Amino acid sequence: MSQPRFNSPQTNSLRVEAIKSILRQSSLFAKLEESALETVVDACVTKQLAKGETLFHEGTVSQGFYIVQAGTICLNRLSHEGKEQVISVFKPFTCFAEATLGSLENYPANAVAVEPSQVILVRKDRFRSIIKSNPDLALTILASMSLHLKHLVQMIDGLKFKHIESRLANWLDSNATYSSDQSKGEVELPMSKKLLASQLGVTSETLSRAFARFRDENIITVNGRHISITDAKALSTYINE
Protein backbone atom coordinates (compact mmCIF):
# COMPACT_ATOMS: atom_id res chain seq x y z
CA MET A 1 0.00 0.00 0.00
CA SER A 2 1.38 3.41 -0.92
CA GLN A 3 2.24 5.89 1.80
CA PRO A 4 0.30 9.15 2.26
CA ARG A 5 1.84 11.95 0.20
CA PHE A 6 3.03 14.94 2.22
CA ASN A 7 3.24 18.44 0.82
CA SER A 8 5.71 20.45 2.92
CA PRO A 9 4.71 24.04 3.83
CA GLN A 10 5.51 26.44 1.00
CA THR A 11 5.68 30.20 0.76
CA ASN A 12 3.34 30.10 -2.21
CA SER A 13 0.57 32.56 -1.37
CA LEU A 14 -2.11 30.51 -3.17
CA ARG A 15 -1.38 27.49 -1.00
CA VAL A 16 -1.44 29.61 2.16
CA GLU A 17 -4.77 31.16 1.22
CA ALA A 18 -6.22 27.73 0.41
CA ILE A 19 -5.29 26.39 3.85
CA LYS A 20 -6.56 29.54 5.56
CA SER A 21 -9.88 29.10 3.75
CA ILE A 22 -10.24 25.55 5.07
CA LEU A 23 -9.24 26.57 8.60
CA ARG A 24 -11.81 29.37 8.55
CA GLN A 25 -14.53 26.81 7.78
CA SER A 26 -13.49 24.69 10.76
CA SER A 27 -15.21 25.54 14.03
CA LEU A 28 -11.81 25.49 15.76
CA PHE A 29 -10.44 28.46 13.86
CA ALA A 30 -13.50 30.32 12.57
CA LYS A 31 -13.11 33.19 15.05
CA LEU A 32 -9.32 33.32 15.17
CA GLU A 33 -7.66 36.64 14.36
CA GLU A 34 -5.86 36.87 11.02
CA SER A 35 -2.37 37.11 12.51
CA ALA A 36 -2.96 34.08 14.73
CA LEU A 37 -4.46 32.13 11.82
CA GLU A 38 -1.35 32.73 9.73
CA THR A 39 0.70 31.28 12.58
CA VAL A 40 -1.47 28.14 12.52
CA VAL A 41 -0.99 27.84 8.76
CA ASP A 42 2.77 27.63 9.37
CA ALA A 43 2.09 24.54 11.50
CA CYS A 44 0.09 22.82 8.76
CA VAL A 45 1.02 20.07 6.32
CA THR A 46 -1.39 18.69 3.72
CA LYS A 47 -1.76 14.99 2.93
CA GLN A 48 -3.49 13.28 0.05
CA LEU A 49 -4.83 9.76 0.48
CA ALA A 50 -6.21 7.22 -1.95
CA LYS A 51 -9.42 5.30 -1.19
CA GLY A 52 -8.69 2.70 1.49
CA GLU A 53 -5.36 4.26 2.43
CA THR A 54 -4.49 4.39 6.12
CA LEU A 55 -3.67 7.80 7.57
CA PHE A 56 -2.47 6.38 10.89
CA HIS A 57 -2.76 3.15 12.88
CA GLU A 58 -3.90 2.70 16.47
CA GLY A 59 -0.86 3.09 18.71
CA THR A 60 1.13 5.20 16.24
CA VAL A 61 2.95 8.12 17.87
CA SER A 62 0.89 11.27 17.30
CA GLN A 63 2.19 13.96 14.98
CA GLY A 64 -0.78 16.21 15.67
CA PHE A 65 -4.45 16.49 14.84
CA TYR A 66 -6.21 16.65 11.49
CA ILE A 67 -8.81 18.66 9.60
CA VAL A 68 -10.57 17.06 6.64
CA GLN A 69 -10.11 19.21 3.54
CA ALA A 70 -11.87 16.91 1.08
CA GLY A 71 -13.26 13.37 1.11
CA THR A 72 -14.16 11.20 4.10
CA ILE A 73 -12.06 9.78 6.95
CA CYS A 74 -13.24 6.87 9.09
CA LEU A 75 -11.93 6.15 12.58
CA ASN A 76 -12.14 2.52 13.65
CA ARG A 77 -10.71 -0.01 16.06
CA LEU A 78 -10.31 -3.75 15.73
CA SER A 79 -11.59 -6.17 18.36
CA HIS A 80 -9.51 -9.10 19.61
CA GLU A 81 -11.43 -11.19 17.07
CA GLY A 82 -10.37 -8.83 14.26
CA LYS A 83 -13.84 -7.32 13.84
CA GLU A 84 -13.87 -3.68 12.79
CA GLN A 85 -15.81 -1.25 14.95
CA VAL A 86 -16.42 2.13 13.34
CA ILE A 87 -16.08 4.92 15.89
CA SER A 88 -16.80 7.96 13.79
CA VAL A 89 -16.76 9.35 10.27
CA PHE A 90 -15.40 12.80 9.45
CA LYS A 91 -16.36 15.00 6.51
CA PRO A 92 -14.81 18.24 5.18
CA PHE A 93 -13.97 20.94 7.71
CA THR A 94 -14.31 18.65 10.73
CA CYS A 95 -11.30 17.83 12.89
CA PHE A 96 -10.19 14.73 14.77
CA ALA A 97 -7.40 13.41 17.04
CA GLU A 98 -7.26 16.63 19.10
CA ALA A 99 -6.98 14.48 22.23
CA THR A 100 -3.36 13.77 21.36
CA LEU A 101 -2.49 17.41 21.99
CA GLY A 102 -2.53 16.60 25.70
CA SER A 103 -0.92 13.73 27.54
CA LEU A 104 -2.15 11.14 25.04
CA GLU A 105 0.95 10.50 22.93
CA ASN A 106 -0.41 7.80 20.62
CA TYR A 107 -3.42 7.70 18.34
CA PRO A 108 -6.18 5.64 20.04
CA ALA A 109 -7.70 4.34 16.79
CA ASN A 110 -7.05 3.73 13.10
CA ALA A 111 -7.85 6.42 10.53
CA VAL A 112 -8.67 5.31 6.97
CA ALA A 113 -9.76 7.22 3.87
CA VAL A 114 -13.21 6.02 2.78
CA GLU A 115 -12.73 7.73 -0.58
CA PRO A 116 -9.94 9.78 -2.20
CA SER A 117 -9.30 12.41 0.45
CA GLN A 118 -7.10 15.28 1.50
CA VAL A 119 -6.44 16.29 5.08
CA ILE A 120 -4.51 18.99 6.87
CA LEU A 121 -2.16 17.90 9.64
CA VAL A 122 -1.74 20.55 12.34
CA ARG A 123 1.58 19.57 13.86
CA LYS A 124 1.50 19.04 17.58
CA ASP A 125 4.85 20.60 18.52
CA ARG A 126 4.11 23.89 16.77
CA PHE A 127 0.46 24.07 17.77
CA ARG A 128 1.27 23.67 21.46
CA SER A 129 3.43 26.79 21.20
CA ILE A 130 0.59 28.65 19.46
CA ILE A 131 -1.83 27.74 22.26
CA LYS A 132 0.49 29.35 24.82
CA SER A 133 0.06 32.72 23.12
CA ASN A 134 -3.64 32.13 22.30
CA PRO A 135 -5.21 30.52 25.39
CA ASP A 136 -8.71 30.83 23.92
CA LEU A 137 -7.70 28.13 21.44
CA ALA A 138 -7.33 25.69 24.33
CA LEU A 139 -10.97 26.27 25.27
CA THR A 140 -12.04 25.70 21.67
CA ILE A 141 -10.08 22.45 21.55
CA LEU A 142 -11.75 21.31 24.77
CA ALA A 143 -15.18 22.11 23.31
CA SER A 144 -14.38 20.05 20.21
CA MET A 145 -13.16 17.14 22.32
CA SER A 146 -16.37 17.34 24.38
CA LEU A 147 -18.44 16.94 21.20
CA HIS A 148 -16.41 13.86 20.25
CA LEU A 149 -16.95 12.45 23.74
CA LYS A 150 -20.69 13.07 23.48
CA HIS A 151 -20.72 11.16 20.19
CA LEU A 152 -18.88 8.21 21.77
CA VAL A 153 -21.29 8.12 24.70
CA GLN A 154 -24.24 8.09 22.28
CA MET A 155 -22.63 5.31 20.25
CA ILE A 156 -21.98 3.16 23.33
CA ASP A 157 -25.47 3.90 24.61
CA GLY A 158 -26.90 2.69 21.30
CA LEU A 159 -25.06 -0.63 21.54
CA LYS A 160 -26.95 -1.52 24.72
CA PHE A 161 -29.97 -2.42 22.58
CA LYS A 162 -30.21 -6.12 21.82
CA HIS A 163 -32.11 -5.87 18.55
CA ILE A 164 -30.83 -4.10 15.44
CA GLU A 165 -34.20 -2.39 14.92
CA SER A 166 -33.79 -0.70 18.31
CA ARG A 167 -30.19 0.27 17.56
CA LEU A 168 -31.15 1.73 14.20
CA ALA A 169 -34.15 3.55 15.64
CA ASN A 170 -31.97 5.06 18.35
CA TRP A 171 -29.36 6.14 15.77
CA LEU A 172 -31.97 7.72 13.52
CA ASP A 173 -33.57 9.52 16.45
CA SER A 174 -30.21 10.87 17.66
CA ASN A 175 -29.26 12.18 14.21
CA ALA A 176 -32.62 13.50 13.04
CA THR A 177 -33.79 17.06 12.60
CA TYR A 178 -37.44 17.01 13.66
CA SER A 179 -40.41 19.14 12.67
CA SER A 180 -41.82 21.57 15.22
CA ASP A 181 -44.44 19.04 16.37
CA GLN A 182 -41.82 16.23 16.51
CA SER A 183 -43.97 13.98 14.29
CA LYS A 184 -41.57 13.84 11.35
CA GLY A 185 -37.82 14.08 10.91
CA GLU A 186 -35.04 14.21 8.37
CA VAL A 187 -31.67 12.44 8.49
CA GLU A 188 -28.73 12.73 6.10
CA LEU A 189 -26.50 9.67 6.28
CA PRO A 190 -22.93 10.93 6.88
CA MET A 191 -21.51 7.57 5.83
CA SER A 192 -22.23 4.53 3.70
CA LYS A 193 -24.66 1.94 5.04
CA LYS A 194 -21.74 -0.49 5.26
CA LEU A 195 -19.95 1.85 7.67
CA LEU A 196 -23.14 2.47 9.62
CA ALA A 197 -23.62 -1.29 9.98
CA SER A 198 -20.11 -1.56 11.40
CA GLN A 199 -20.80 1.28 13.82
CA LEU A 200 -23.99 -0.43 14.99
CA GLY A 201 -22.17 -3.74 15.37
CA VAL A 202 -24.04 -5.75 12.72
CA THR A 203 -23.54 -6.96 9.16
CA SER A 204 -24.66 -4.93 6.14
CA GLU A 205 -27.33 -7.55 5.38
CA THR A 206 -28.79 -7.29 8.88
CA LEU A 207 -28.92 -3.49 8.67
CA SER A 208 -30.59 -3.67 5.25
CA ARG A 209 -33.32 -5.89 6.69
CA ALA A 210 -33.93 -3.37 9.49
CA PHE A 211 -34.21 -0.52 6.99
CA ALA A 212 -36.59 -2.64 4.89
CA ARG A 213 -38.77 -3.35 7.92
CA PHE A 214 -39.03 0.35 8.75
CA ARG A 215 -39.93 1.13 5.13
CA ASP A 216 -42.55 -1.63 5.04
CA GLU A 217 -44.10 -0.26 8.24
CA ASN A 218 -44.14 3.27 6.73
CA ILE A 219 -41.88 4.58 9.46
CA ILE A 220 -39.27 5.91 7.04
CA THR A 221 -38.66 6.57 3.37
CA VAL A 222 -35.17 6.37 1.89
CA ASN A 223 -33.80 8.28 -1.07
CA GLY A 224 -30.09 7.61 -1.42
CA ARG A 225 -28.48 8.91 1.76
CA HIS A 226 -31.50 11.00 2.68
CA ILE A 227 -33.91 9.40 5.15
CA SER A 228 -37.29 10.86 6.03
CA ILE A 229 -38.87 9.76 9.30
CA THR A 230 -42.57 9.77 8.47
CA ASP A 231 -43.82 8.33 11.77
CA ALA A 232 -41.67 9.41 14.70
CA LYS A 233 -44.07 7.88 17.22
CA ALA A 234 -43.76 4.43 15.65
CA LEU A 235 -39.97 4.82 15.54
CA SER A 236 -39.90 5.60 19.26
CA THR A 237 -41.65 2.34 20.08
CA TYR A 238 -38.57 0.46 18.86
CA ILE A 239 -36.31 2.59 21.07
CA ASN A 240 -38.46 1.82 24.11
CA GLU A 241 -38.60 -1.95 23.52
Q: What is the pLDDT along the chain (241 residues), one digit of tens a residue?
A: 455 555 554 446 777 888 999 999 988 888 888 888 888 998 999 999 999 999 999 999 999 999 999 999 999 988 777 778 888 889 999 999 988 887 778 998 999 999 999 999 999 988 888 888 777 777 777 777 666 666 666 666 655 667 899 989 989 998 899 988 888 999 999 888 888 988 888 889 999 999 999 999 999 999 989 999 999 999 999 987 6
Pair (196, 142) in one structural domain: no
In a domain, 147, yes or no: yes
Amino acid 16 reads: V
Pair (21, 121) in one structural domain: yes
Give the whole-angstrom CA distance, residue 238 versus residue 166. Answer: 5
Which positions ≥6 away from 129 have C-beta within 8 Å?
Answer: none
In a domain, 133, yes or no: yes
Give the whole-angstrom CA distance, residue 7 versus residue 62. Answer: 18
* Alpha-carbon separation of residue 189 from 77, 128, 179, 182 (angstroms): 21, 35, 18, 20
- Look up the domain containing 223 and give its range: 164-239
The CATH number covering residue 168 comes to: 1.10.10.10
Query: Model-level pTM?
Result: 0.71
Structural domains of the chain, count? 2
Pair (181, 210) in one structural domain: yes
Pair (10, 108) in one structural domain: yes
Angle at the Cα of 211 from the Cα atoms of 193 and 78, rounded to 5 degrees: 40
- Average pLDDT across the chain, whole number: 85
Write down which residue in 154, 182, 212 finishes a domain: 154
Per the document, the length of the chain is 241
Pair (138, 211) in one structural domain: no
Write down which residue in 122, 154, 186 finishes a domain: 154
The CATH number covering residue 28 comes to: 2.60.120.10
Helices 164-175, 193-200: inter-axial angle, 10-degree rounding: 110
| Strand ranges for the chain from DSSP E | 5-7, 44-49, 54-56, 64-70, 73-78, 84-90, 95-96, 110-113, 117-123, 177-178, 185-188, 220-223, 226-229
Pair (53, 169) in one structural domain: no
pLDDT of residue 4: 57
In a domain, 146, yes or no: yes
Torsional class of 97: left (φ above 0), alpha (ψ -120 to 50), beta (otherwise): left
Pair (44, 136) in one structural domain: yes
Pair (73, 174) in one structural domain: no
Pair (206, 99) in one structural domain: no
